[in-house]
Amino acid sequence: MKITYVLAGLLSLTAASQAELMRVNLKKADITPAEQMLAYSETGSYMAQKYFGSVHRKMKTDEANQIIGLDANGKPTYGVPLSNYMNAQYYGEVNVGTPPQTFSVVFDTGSSNFWVPSTHCNSIACFLHRRFDSEKSTTFRPNGTQFAIQYGSGSLEGIISNDVVEVGGAVIKGQDFGESVKEPGLAFAFGKFDGIFGLGYDTISVLGVVPPFYSLVNQKLIDEAVFGFYLAQAEGSTGGQMTLGGVDSNHFTGDLQWHNVRRKGYWEIDLSKIQLGDEEVEMNAGAVIDTGSSLIVLATAMAEMINKEIGAKKNYAGQYTIECEKVPSLPEFSFFFGSTKYTLQGSDYVLNAGGSCISGFMGMDFPESLGDLWIVGDVFLRKYYSVYDLGKNRVGFAPSK
C-alpha cells in the first residue's frame, strides 16, 4: 500500500500514516478592495490569453467511457492546500529541483503545461515573483527546447527543462516543465501566483510536453487517475484543497454526479440547458470546467442578455456591476449538464469586491474552432465539489460542504 502525503500550511510533510487522508485548514491572502477590483478587471485579459492562445492546438474527439462508480476505498491521496486570493485566484505550492525551490502555482484544469519563472527572465512579472535557478539544483537536466505559448496580450516564451517536481508530497522524477523567460501582460505581473500547473489533457499541451498529472499516473505514484477540487468561499477559514489520486468525501454531500468528457482537450462536458428564474434556454454547447478561471465566461450576446436580466450594468472598466443590496432578491441561475440541474443563488454568481458587487457572467467572443462554449470557473466551483477522472474521461460534481 502506498503512503499518503499532504501539504500542511505552506510546508510539505515528509510522511503520513497509511490510508488516512489528512485535512488541513489553509490561510487566505489579505487583499485590499483595490486589489480585488484589479484582479477581476484582469480576468478578461487572462481568459483571452488562455483560450485564444489555444486555437492552434488540435483537440482529439473521442467517446468517453461508460459511467462506472468510483471506488476510492483504501486509495492513496495526495492533498494540496489552496490559498484563496480574493476569490479570483486559488493557488498552492509545488517544489522543483534538489534542494527544493518552492513556487506558488495556479492548479489549472483549463491548460496543460507546467511552467514557472526563470532566473533568465527579465520581464517585470518575473522580478515580482520567485524564479527557478537551475544552477542551484543537483537534479536539473537541461533540455533547451524553446517554447512560446501565444496569448492575447503577447507571447509567453521560455525553454523546456527537466527536474524533480514535488506536489503534495508526491515526488515526480524527470518532469519536463517550462522556464519562462518572457511573460506578457498584467495578468501575470499582478497575480499572486508564480506559475501555472496545467491539469488539462495532454492533447493541448504545448510541444506535447507530458503534463505532471500524467507523470503521477505513469510513475504509479497514485492508484487512480483522479483528482478533486474543493474551493472555499472567501469568508471561510481555508482556501480549499486539491486531492491527487482520489477524493475527499468530507468536502461534499451526497453522491457524485458524473458527466462524460465530450472532447479530450479541456475538461469539457455537455451543456444542454440554462435557466434564469423561470426562463429556460435549450443549449447544444460545451462547458469547460476551469479551476483557473474566476468567472463564468460565455458568448458576449448571451452575457449581455443575462446581465441585463439581473440588472447589472457596465462600468468604466467594462465590468458588469450591480447594487449590492439587490443581490438577495436576484433570480436563481441553473446549469443543466445532461439532465442534472446545478443551481446558483445570486450570492453565488455575484462577487463582492470590497463593497462593489460584480456579476460573475463575463462576455467573450470565442473563435469558431472552439464552437459554442461556456467556461465554468470558480463562481460555480465554490458551490460544487468537482472531480476529474482521467481514467474514465468524466467530470463529477456534488454540493460542497
Catalytic residue, candidates 108, 163, 176, 378: 108
Is residue 71 annotated as part of the catalytic site, yes or no? no
**DSSP E strand boundaries for 266-316:** 267-276, 279-289, 296-298, 313-314
Q: Which helix (H) or strand (E) holds 300?
A: helix 300-309
30: Cα within 13 Å, side-chain hemisphere: 0
Cell 527536474 belongs to residue: 163
Tell me the residue type at 379.
Answer: V
In whole angstroms, give the CA distance from residue 48 to residue 107.
Answer: 18
Active site residue 30: no
Q: Following DSSP, what letter does each residue of 354-396 receive, concatenated?
A: TTEEEESEEE-PPPGGG-SEEEE-HHHHTTEEEEEETTTTEEE
Q: Identify whether the C-beta of residue 294 lies closer than 8 Å to the C-beta of residue 87.
A: yes
Which one of 194, 248, 290, 348 is the catalytic residue? 290
Q: Which of 18, 157, 33 is nearest to 77 (CA)?
A: 18
Q: What is the full DSSP assignment across 86-102?
A: TTTEEEEEEEETTTTEE
Catalytic residues: 108, 290
